[in-house]
Amino acid sequence: MELLDLLTIIFLAGLLSILAQYLGLLTFDGAVASLGIGLVIGFFGSVDWLLILIIFTGLGFAATLVGLAKKRAKGHQEGSYGERMYKNILAVGIAPCVFAVLCYFTADEHYTLLSIAYISSITVAAADTIASEVGVKDKKVWLITSFKRVEPGTDGGISVMGTGLALLAAIVVAAIGWYFIFDKPWDMMFLIPVTAGMVGCLMDSVFGATLERRGYLSKYTNNASTAMIGSIFAMAVYTFMF
């Protein structure tokens, strides 16, 4: 890795963490975790891989701020004021880090496969974050396992608005990720991480309605495991097709 790339990675990861904490979007431990995740992604992946993560993070923070006062009034916000702690960051950051490290140590032998997995892990996180942060404003929510009406914010609850916005987020993030890594904005293969994003997002709701509600999973382990599931799904689809 060239010195300029290394300095760029340190600068971008540091700037994101400092700015997010300054704006009250991350706790101190959340900022430290964000810095660590950013450095791992940048060093073992690339500057482009880090930029994809930063774009997703920006979208997630923007979604957090949408209707924050109303979410706080109903107790639907993260933390006390919408801020995220280290557990939130690690939950969405572990899967991308795994694929970045694997890609680094396989010496590009599986670059395309692991890049698709990486994009998919970010896409799952984007879809789930948007569905949770913005979709919670929809008053018509159904439990994914029974389709019975439940209150907004219920674990495993889904809505038309939340699902639609999750799909939009998956398309946007997958398209951006595909362009940054493969420089092919119109390659229809980007639909693989789009689909993986929705698979992971919906599995998050299924686990929320079952394992999480019964105390077998925390929302953090739910987020981490469904990001891996979505990514593995994407790898399986790519392997089968090619």
Distances (CA, A) of 97 to 4, 40, 91, 118, 175: 22, 6, 11, 8, 20
- For residue 68, the tally of other CB atoms under 10 A from its CB is 16
Domain of 103?
Answer: 3-241
- pTM reported for the whole predicted model: 0.93
**How many other C-beta atoms can be found within 10 angstroms of the C-beta atom of residue 53?**
28
Alpha carbon distance 5, 100 (integer Å): 16
pLDDT in tens, 139-153: 899 999 999 999 888
164 token code pair: 């639609």
- Encode pLDDT of 152-200 as tens digits: 888 899 999 999 999 999 999 999 999 999 987 668 899 999 999 999 9
Taking residue 72's Cβ as centre, other Cβ atoms within 10 Å add up to 14
Looking at the 3D structure of the chain, how many domains does it have? 1
Interatomic CA distance for residues 44 and 109, integer angstroms:
15
pLDDT, tens digit, 9 for 90 and up, residues 40-88:
999 999 999 999 999 999 988 888 777 666 656 565 555 555 688 999 9
What's the burial of 161, exposed, middle or buried (CB within 10 Å: 0-12/13-18/19+)?
middle
Given this model, what pLDDT does residue 12 score? 97
pLDDT (tens digit, 9 = 90+) per residue, 199-242? 999 999 999 999 999 999 999 999 999 999 999 999 999 999 88
Sign of CA dihedral 203, 110, 169, 28: positive
Torsion of CA 169, 171, 172, 176, to 10 degrees: 140
pLDDT(1) > 80:
no
